[in-house]
Amino acid sequence: MSDRPFHDRDGFIWFDGELVPHRDAKVHVLTHAMHYGSSVFEGQRAYDGTIFKLAEHTARLRTSANLLGFDLPFSDDEINAACYEVMKANGFTNCYMRPVAWRGSEQMGISAKKTKIHVAIACWEWPSYYSMEERLKGLKLDIARYRRPAPYTAPSAAKAAGLYMICTVSKHAAEDKGCADAMMLDYRGRVAEATSANIFFVKNGEIHTPEPDCFLNGITRQTVIQLAERAGIPVHVRAIWPEELSDFDECFLTGTAAEVSPVAEIGPWRFTPGDVCKRLMTDYDNLVWGRLNA
Protein backbone atom coordinates (compact mmCIF):
# COMPACT_ATOMS: atom_id res chain seq x y z
CA MET A 1 0.00 0.00 0.00
CA SER A 2 1.30 3.47 -0.89
CA ASP A 3 2.25 5.78 1.97
CA ARG A 4 1.37 8.84 -0.11
CA PRO A 5 -1.61 10.90 1.10
CA PHE A 6 -4.87 9.91 -0.51
CA HIS A 7 -5.31 13.17 -2.41
CA ASP A 8 -1.93 12.83 -4.13
CA ARG A 9 -1.98 9.55 -6.02
CA ASP A 10 -1.98 8.33 -9.58
CA GLY A 11 -4.91 6.56 -11.20
CA PHE A 12 -8.61 7.31 -11.55
CA ILE A 13 -11.74 7.83 -9.46
CA TRP A 14 -15.26 7.38 -10.79
CA PHE A 15 -16.96 10.70 -10.00
CA ASP A 16 -20.62 11.38 -10.86
CA GLY A 17 -20.60 9.09 -13.86
CA GLU A 18 -17.14 9.78 -15.26
CA LEU A 19 -13.61 8.57 -14.68
CA VAL A 20 -11.48 11.51 -13.58
CA PRO A 21 -7.77 11.65 -12.69
CA HIS A 22 -7.33 10.80 -9.01
CA ARG A 23 -5.94 14.23 -8.11
CA ASP A 24 -8.86 16.03 -9.80
CA ALA A 25 -11.60 14.34 -7.73
CA LYS A 26 -12.30 17.35 -5.51
CA VAL A 27 -15.19 18.90 -3.59
CA HIS A 28 -15.66 22.42 -2.23
CA VAL A 29 -14.86 23.35 1.37
CA LEU A 30 -18.52 24.36 1.85
CA THR A 31 -19.87 20.95 0.88
CA HIS A 32 -22.77 20.08 3.17
CA ALA A 33 -21.32 16.65 4.00
CA MET A 34 -18.16 18.21 5.41
CA HIS A 35 -20.10 20.38 7.86
CA TYR A 36 -23.04 18.17 8.79
CA GLY A 37 -21.94 14.60 8.06
CA SER A 38 -24.53 14.07 5.30
CA SER A 39 -22.55 11.28 3.67
CA VAL A 40 -22.76 7.49 3.41
CA PHE A 41 -20.17 5.05 2.16
CA GLU A 42 -19.25 1.42 1.63
CA GLY A 43 -16.10 -0.63 2.05
CA GLN A 44 -15.71 -3.64 -0.23
CA ARG A 45 -12.89 -5.81 -1.53
CA ALA A 46 -11.98 -7.38 -4.84
CA TYR A 47 -10.20 -10.72 -4.90
CA ASP A 48 -8.70 -11.90 -8.20
CA GLY A 49 -10.83 -9.41 -10.11
CA THR A 50 -14.16 -10.24 -8.43
CA ILE A 51 -15.71 -7.77 -5.98
CA PHE A 52 -16.98 -9.83 -3.06
CA LYS A 53 -20.73 -9.47 -2.48
CA LEU A 54 -20.90 -6.31 -4.59
CA ALA A 55 -24.69 -6.40 -4.96
CA GLU A 56 -25.14 -6.51 -1.18
CA HIS A 57 -22.76 -3.59 -0.68
CA THR A 58 -24.49 -1.44 -3.29
CA ALA A 59 -27.90 -2.26 -1.84
CA ARG A 60 -26.68 -1.19 1.61
CA LEU A 61 -25.27 2.04 0.16
CA ARG A 62 -28.71 2.86 -1.19
CA THR A 63 -30.41 1.94 2.09
CA SER A 64 -27.97 4.13 4.01
CA ALA A 65 -28.66 7.07 1.70
CA ASN A 66 -32.41 6.62 2.10
CA LEU A 67 -32.05 6.57 5.89
CA LEU A 68 -30.29 9.95 5.63
CA GLY A 69 -33.12 11.29 3.49
CA PHE A 70 -31.70 11.20 -0.02
CA ASP A 71 -31.56 8.83 -2.98
CA LEU A 72 -28.66 7.86 -5.18
CA PRO A 73 -28.78 9.41 -8.67
CA PHE A 74 -27.54 6.18 -10.24
CA SER A 75 -29.10 2.73 -10.39
CA ASP A 76 -27.58 -0.26 -8.61
CA ASP A 77 -26.53 -1.69 -11.98
CA GLU A 78 -24.78 1.55 -12.91
CA ILE A 79 -22.93 1.65 -9.59
CA ASN A 80 -21.93 -2.01 -9.86
CA ALA A 81 -20.62 -1.48 -13.38
CA ALA A 82 -18.76 1.65 -12.25
CA CYS A 83 -17.01 -0.33 -9.51
CA TYR A 84 -15.56 -2.69 -12.07
CA GLU A 85 -14.79 0.20 -14.43
CA VAL A 86 -12.71 2.08 -11.86
CA MET A 87 -10.93 -1.09 -10.76
CA LYS A 88 -9.97 -1.85 -14.38
CA ALA A 89 -8.91 1.76 -15.01
CA ASN A 90 -6.50 1.54 -12.07
CA GLY A 91 -5.13 -1.82 -13.16
CA PHE A 92 -6.13 -3.63 -9.97
CA THR A 93 -7.44 -7.15 -9.46
CA ASN A 94 -6.97 -7.28 -5.66
CA CYS A 95 -7.97 -4.08 -3.92
CA TYR A 96 -10.13 -2.27 -1.41
CA MET A 97 -12.93 -0.13 -2.83
CA ARG A 98 -14.73 2.89 -1.38
CA PRO A 99 -18.06 4.02 -2.91
CA VAL A 100 -19.28 7.22 -1.23
CA ALA A 101 -22.36 9.43 -1.67
CA TRP A 102 -22.83 12.90 -0.20
CA ARG A 103 -24.76 16.15 -0.25
CA GLY A 104 -23.11 18.97 -2.20
CA SER A 105 -22.54 22.69 -1.69
CA GLU A 106 -25.75 24.19 -3.08
CA GLN A 107 -27.16 24.90 0.37
CA MET A 108 -25.60 25.53 3.79
CA GLY A 109 -27.45 24.94 7.04
CA ILE A 110 -29.24 22.06 8.66
CA SER A 111 -31.83 21.90 5.90
CA ALA A 112 -30.26 20.52 2.73
CA LYS A 113 -33.12 19.61 0.40
CA LYS A 114 -31.71 21.73 -2.44
CA THR A 115 -28.30 20.09 -2.47
CA LYS A 116 -27.12 17.90 -5.31
CA ILE A 117 -26.29 14.30 -4.46
CA HIS A 118 -22.86 13.16 -5.61
CA VAL A 119 -21.44 9.66 -5.91
CA ALA A 120 -17.78 8.68 -6.23
CA ILE A 121 -15.92 5.36 -6.23
CA ALA A 122 -12.24 5.02 -5.42
CA CYS A 123 -10.04 1.96 -5.02
CA TRP A 124 -6.56 1.23 -3.78
CA GLU A 125 -4.36 -1.67 -2.79
CA TRP A 126 -4.85 -2.30 0.93
CA PRO A 127 -3.98 -5.46 2.85
CA SER A 128 -5.86 -6.56 5.97
CA TYR A 129 -6.84 -3.73 8.32
CA TYR A 130 -4.58 -5.20 11.00
CA SER A 131 -0.99 -6.29 10.44
CA MET A 132 -0.30 -10.00 9.93
CA GLU A 133 1.76 -9.99 13.13
CA GLU A 134 -1.22 -8.65 15.09
CA ARG A 135 -3.61 -11.15 13.52
CA LEU A 136 -1.41 -14.19 14.18
CA LYS A 137 -0.87 -13.46 17.85
CA GLY A 138 -4.35 -12.01 18.42
CA LEU A 139 -5.34 -8.38 18.68
CA LYS A 140 -5.20 -6.32 21.85
CA LEU A 141 -8.32 -4.20 22.36
CA ASP A 142 -9.03 -1.30 24.67
CA ILE A 143 -12.53 -0.52 25.99
CA ALA A 144 -13.95 2.57 24.30
CA ARG A 145 -15.12 5.57 26.28
CA TYR A 146 -17.99 6.26 23.89
CA ARG A 147 -20.95 3.97 23.33
CA ARG A 148 -23.02 3.10 20.31
CA PRO A 149 -26.12 5.31 20.37
CA ALA A 150 -29.67 4.04 20.71
CA PRO A 151 -31.50 3.46 17.40
CA TYR A 152 -34.03 6.13 18.39
CA THR A 153 -31.25 8.74 18.56
CA ALA A 154 -29.36 8.02 15.30
CA PRO A 155 -29.82 6.08 12.04
CA SER A 156 -27.80 3.15 13.35
CA ALA A 157 -28.65 0.89 10.40
CA ALA A 158 -26.91 3.32 8.00
CA LYS A 159 -23.22 3.21 7.16
CA ALA A 160 -23.14 6.96 7.67
CA ALA A 161 -19.94 8.98 7.96
CA GLY A 162 -21.10 10.95 10.99
CA LEU A 163 -21.54 7.82 13.09
CA TYR A 164 -17.82 7.06 12.82
CA MET A 165 -16.43 10.09 14.67
CA ILE A 166 -16.68 8.34 18.04
CA CYS A 167 -14.92 5.39 16.40
CA THR A 168 -11.98 7.56 15.35
CA VAL A 169 -11.70 9.05 18.84
CA SER A 170 -11.91 5.59 20.41
CA LYS A 171 -9.35 4.03 18.07
CA HIS A 172 -6.90 6.88 18.65
CA ALA A 173 -7.23 6.43 22.41
CA ALA A 174 -6.69 2.69 22.01
CA GLU A 175 -3.59 3.15 19.85
CA ASP A 176 -2.16 5.57 22.41
CA LYS A 177 -2.35 2.67 24.90
CA GLY A 178 -0.62 0.24 22.55
CA CYS A 179 -3.84 -1.46 21.45
CA ALA A 180 -4.94 -2.25 17.90
CA ASP A 181 -8.57 -1.25 18.42
CA ALA A 182 -11.30 -0.74 21.01
CA MET A 183 -14.43 -2.64 21.95
CA MET A 184 -17.49 -0.42 22.11
CA LEU A 185 -20.49 -0.97 24.36
CA ASP A 186 -24.00 0.02 23.35
CA TYR A 187 -26.20 2.61 25.04
CA ARG A 188 -27.40 -0.03 27.55
CA GLY A 189 -23.89 -1.08 28.53
CA ARG A 190 -23.94 -4.30 26.52
CA VAL A 191 -21.10 -5.43 24.25
CA ALA A 192 -21.64 -3.97 20.76
CA GLU A 193 -18.66 -4.14 18.37
CA ALA A 194 -15.17 -2.81 17.69
CA THR A 195 -14.71 0.61 16.08
CA SER A 196 -15.06 -0.73 12.54
CA ALA A 197 -15.69 -4.45 12.89
CA ASN A 198 -18.24 -6.79 14.43
CA ILE A 199 -17.25 -8.98 17.36
CA PHE A 200 -17.71 -12.70 18.11
CA PHE A 201 -16.95 -14.88 21.12
CA VAL A 202 -16.54 -18.64 21.48
CA LYS A 203 -17.43 -20.83 24.46
CA ASN A 204 -17.28 -24.62 24.44
CA GLY A 205 -17.06 -24.62 20.65
CA GLU A 206 -20.17 -22.45 20.18
CA ILE A 207 -20.28 -18.88 18.90
CA HIS A 208 -21.94 -15.97 20.69
CA THR A 209 -22.31 -12.55 19.04
CA PRO A 210 -24.24 -9.39 19.97
CA GLU A 211 -27.59 -8.69 18.37
CA PRO A 212 -27.06 -5.80 15.89
CA ASP A 213 -30.01 -3.70 17.01
CA CYS A 214 -28.06 -0.43 17.35
CA PHE A 215 -25.03 -0.97 15.15
CA LEU A 216 -24.32 -2.15 11.62
CA ASN A 217 -25.14 -5.76 10.78
CA GLY A 218 -21.99 -6.22 8.75
CA ILE A 219 -21.98 -8.08 5.45
CA THR A 220 -18.85 -9.95 6.58
CA ARG A 221 -20.61 -10.68 9.89
CA GLN A 222 -23.51 -12.26 8.05
CA THR A 223 -21.11 -14.22 5.83
CA VAL A 224 -19.16 -15.60 8.79
CA ILE A 225 -22.37 -16.67 10.55
CA GLN A 226 -23.36 -18.57 7.40
CA LEU A 227 -19.92 -20.21 7.25
CA ALA A 228 -20.15 -21.22 10.90
CA GLU A 229 -23.59 -22.73 10.44
CA ARG A 230 -22.38 -24.58 7.35
CA ALA A 231 -19.53 -26.00 9.44
CA GLY A 232 -22.00 -27.16 12.10
CA ILE A 233 -20.87 -24.58 14.66
CA PRO A 234 -23.85 -23.31 16.71
CA VAL A 235 -24.30 -19.51 16.63
CA HIS A 236 -26.15 -17.61 19.35
CA VAL A 237 -27.13 -14.02 18.49
CA ARG A 238 -27.99 -12.41 21.82
CA ALA A 239 -27.35 -9.69 24.36
CA ILE A 240 -23.85 -10.02 25.84
CA TRP A 241 -22.80 -8.16 28.99
CA PRO A 242 -19.14 -7.28 29.71
CA GLU A 243 -19.06 -9.41 32.86
CA GLU A 244 -19.61 -12.48 30.66
CA LEU A 245 -16.30 -12.01 28.82
CA SER A 246 -14.35 -13.98 31.43
CA ASP A 247 -16.37 -17.07 30.43
CA PHE A 248 -15.35 -17.06 26.75
CA ASP A 249 -12.43 -19.02 25.29
CA GLU A 250 -11.95 -17.29 21.94
CA CYS A 251 -12.78 -13.92 20.40
CA PHE A 252 -12.50 -12.55 16.88
CA LEU A 253 -13.50 -9.55 14.77
CA THR A 254 -15.04 -9.52 11.30
CA GLY A 255 -15.30 -6.86 8.61
CA THR A 256 -14.45 -6.13 4.99
CA ALA A 257 -11.22 -4.45 6.06
CA ALA A 258 -10.53 -6.70 9.07
CA GLU A 259 -11.68 -9.92 7.36
CA VAL A 260 -11.52 -12.48 10.24
CA SER A 261 -9.07 -11.36 12.94
CA PRO A 262 -8.56 -13.19 16.27
CA VAL A 263 -8.46 -11.20 19.53
CA ALA A 264 -6.11 -12.05 22.41
CA GLU A 265 -7.22 -9.51 24.99
CA ILE A 266 -9.83 -6.87 25.74
CA GLY A 267 -9.03 -4.79 28.80
CA PRO A 268 -8.68 -7.32 31.67
CA TRP A 269 -10.02 -10.29 29.66
CA ARG A 270 -7.80 -12.80 27.85
CA PHE A 271 -8.57 -15.15 24.96
CA THR A 272 -6.65 -17.79 23.05
CA PRO A 273 -7.19 -18.02 19.28
CA GLY A 274 -8.31 -21.61 18.79
CA ASP A 275 -9.99 -24.06 16.46
CA VAL A 276 -13.10 -21.98 15.75
CA CYS A 277 -11.10 -18.85 14.91
CA LYS A 278 -8.74 -20.80 12.69
CA ARG A 279 -11.57 -22.65 10.92
CA LEU A 280 -13.45 -19.46 10.11
CA MET A 281 -10.31 -17.61 9.02
CA THR A 282 -9.58 -20.45 6.60
CA ASP A 283 -13.16 -20.81 5.37
CA TYR A 284 -13.53 -17.07 4.83
CA ASP A 285 -10.26 -16.87 2.90
CA ASN A 286 -11.31 -19.83 0.76
CA LEU A 287 -14.70 -18.23 0.08
CA VAL A 288 -13.47 -14.79 -0.98
CA TRP A 289 -10.68 -16.27 -3.13
CA GLY A 290 -13.11 -18.58 -4.89
CA ARG A 291 -11.84 -21.83 -3.37
CA LEU A 292 -15.17 -22.45 -1.57
CA ASN A 293 -18.62 -22.19 -3.12
CA ALA A 294 -20.88 -19.48 -1.72
Quick one: pLDDT at residue 55?
98
Query: Are 147 and 187 a contacting pair, CB within 8 Å?
Result: yes
Ramachandran angles phi, psi of 117, nearest 5°: -95, 130
Average pLDDT, the chain: 95
Write the single-letter amino acid at 285.
Answer: D
Helix H or strand E encompassing 227: helix 219-230
- What's the pLDDT tens digit per position in 31-84? 999 999 999 999 999 999 999 999 999 999 999 999 999 999 999 999 999 999
* For residues 268-272, average pLDDT: 97
Helix H or strand E encompassing 50: strand 50-51
The gap from C-alpha 275 to its chain's centroid, in whole angstroms, comes to: 25
Quick one: pLDDT at residue 211?
98
Q: Where are the domains of the chain?
A: 12-124, 132-288
Quick one: pLDDT at residue 1?
56
- What's the pLDDT tens digit per position in 154-190? 999 999 999 999 999 999 999 999 999 999 999 999 9
How far is it, in rounded angstroms, from Cα 71 to Cα 102?
10
Q: Decide if pLDDT at 133 tops 80.
A: no
C-alpha dihedral (122, 123, 129, 131), degrees to nearest 10: -140
- What's the pLDDT tens digit per position in 194-213? 999 999 999 999 999 999 99
Percent of the chain with pLDDT strictly greater than 70 = 97
Please tell me what DSSP assigns to residue 260.
E
Quick one: pLDDT at residue 292?
83
Q: Decide if pLDDT at 109 tops 70.
A: yes
Quick one: pLDDT at residue 36?
97
Domains 12-124 and 132-288 share a fold: no
Please tell me what DSSP assigns to residue 150.
P
Annotated catalytic residue within 53, 159, 171, 177: 159
Quick one: pLDDT at residue 124?
96
How far is it, in rounded angstroms, from Cα 48 to Cα 93?
5
* Domain 132-288, CATH among 3.40.30.10, 3.40.50.2300, 3.40.190.10, 3.20.10.10: 3.20.10.10
Range in 24-38, 127-141, 216-230 the model is least confident about: 127-141
User: Known catalytic residue: 53?
Assistant: no
Top-tier CATH class for 12-124: alpha beta
